[in-house]
Amino acid sequence: MKALVYHGPGAKSLDEMPKPILRSSTDAIVRVSKTTICGTDLHILKGDLPTVTAGRILGHEGIGVVDLSGAGVTRFHAGDRVLISCITACGKCEYCRRGMPSHCEDGGWILGNTIDGTQAEFVRIPYADTSLYALPEGADEEAMVMLSDILPTGYECGVLNGDVSPGDTVALVGAGPVGLSALLTAQFYAPAKLIVIDLDDNRLEVAKQFGATAVVNSTDGKAVEKVMAMTGGKGVDVAIEAVGVPATFNICQEIVGAGGHIANIGVHGTSVNLRLEKLWSQNITLTTRLVDAVTTPMLLKTVMAGRLKPTQLITHHFKLAEIIKAYETFGNAGKERALKVIVTNP
């Protein structure tokens, strides 16, 4: 089968690979019909993630059709249309039972990381019963791909952890796909103000279309000043960090108001300076989270009900045969005005 294979830092190719086989009775083999590329895949390609070794098929998002299922899989059968979760959950360990499968003792984020992933014609899904979701009748397939990772990530790490509530003033730092996912799902809770901060005017324009009530281009280094002015000096109720560098974290800690929340989504490569000499008395809550994707069933319902429109996030379409080109487009997101790209098989 065709698959996008990582060959070490900077190197990838669309290779012919063996079709995956069942290794455990709880596995399923899924024929991938649509997948996408994540910012994390770009990090892998830079060599930032030592857990990913050469020869690995990338990708942790997608939908498809069950091709084969192990004897222990009871909820899915060959022919079922399924959504693949980026998080593999054994459903049995302490962490899965605490609702935190991101730290599953035999799963978590392993697809396209420590086991082969979804940017291929077929993929093996361990613990299929608790790592796949049935696609509802009439579901828009492209919308569903957004539920593998990006929407649960924005929602769980940003909106839920940030405790976005009706009437709140929310600031979102970073208008990339994950930040925009937080922007879309924050609107589940009727915040009064949704301020989006980014360096790219195009993305800020998109943010406005997606529901931002104000946008701030932080190129001039005055984002903190501007947000404080917008909030009468009080700061925001919730600051969502969706970039993953010290500068954006810093904006968050400068603009959060007394009693407020900082919800970190960003994948950070270095430590940050936490201003406890100021914040110790500010009654703030700071959270981090690797997505658990436990809200996928709920998000599915909101999509089917028309309350959430994930296809807004999709800007480009490719065939699996063109996936190298898809990576180029996604890798030049600013210039290409790319958010999420859909890769279809065949």
Q: Which of 11, 274, 321, 324 binds a second copy (CB under 8 A)?
A: 274
Q: Which of 7, 77, 222, 307 binds a second copy (CB under 8 A)?
A: 307
**Contacts of a second copy in 20-79 (CB under 8 A):** 25-26, 71-72, 74-75
Instruction: Compute the distance between CA of residue 233 and CA of residue 252 in angstroms, rounded to an integer.
Output: 14
139, 305 contact by CB (below 8 A): no
Q: Which of 55, 94, 321, 328 binds a second copy (CB under 8 A)?
A: 94
- Residue carrying structure tokens 């996008």: 4
**Position 273 contacts a second copy (CB under 8 A):** yes
Instruction: Compute the distance between CA of residue 205 and CA of residue 67 in angstroms, rounded to an integer.
Output: 42
Q: Which of 266, 329, 340, 343 binds a second copy (CB under 8 A)?
A: 266
**Position 301 contacts a second copy (CB under 8 A):** yes
4, 96 contact by CB (below 8 A): no
**Nearest distance, CB of residue 199 and a second copy, angstroms:** 20
**Nearest distance, CB of residue 298 and a second copy, angstroms:** 4
Instruction: Compute the distance between CA of residue 44 and CA of residue 35 in angstroms, rounded to an integer.
Output: 17
**Position 138 contacts a second copy (CB under 8 A):** no
Instruction: Compute the distance between CA of residue 211 and CA of residue 331 in angstroms, rounded to an integer.
Output: 25
Tokens representing residue 270 in the block: 């270095």
Non-local CB neighbours of 177 within 8 Å, separated by 6+ positions: 39, 150, 313, 339, 340
**Contacts of a second copy in 185-224 (CB under 8 A):** 187-193, 213
Identify which range of 29-37, 114-122, 215-223, 290-298 contacts a second copy by CB under 8 A.
290-298
Could you please report the per-residue DSSP string of 73-132?
Answer: --S--TT-EEEEPSSB--SSSHHHHTT-GGG-TT-BS-BTTTB--SSBSEEEESSHHHHE
Identify which range of 6-14, 31-39, 263-271, 320-328 contacts a second copy by CB under 8 A.
263-271
**Nearest distance, CB of residue 262 and a second copy, angstroms:** 9
Omega before 136 within 30 of 0, i.e. cis: no
197, 174 contact by CB (below 8 A): yes
**Contacts of a second copy in 99-128 (CB under 8 A):** 99-100, 102-103
Question: Per-residue x/- marks for a second copy, 154-173, CB under 8 A?
Answer: -----------xxx------
Q: Which of 10, 280, 335, 346 binds a second copy (CB under 8 A)?
A: 280
Q: Which of 35, 85, 88, 130 binds a second copy (CB under 8 A)?
A: 130
Compute the chain's Rg from CA coordinates.
20
Q: Which residues bind a second copy (CB under 8 A)?
A: 25-26, 71-72, 74-75, 91-92, 94-95, 97-100, 102-103, 129-130, 165-167, 187-193, 213, 244, 249, 258-259, 264, 266-277, 279-290, 292, 294, 297-302, 304-305, 307-308
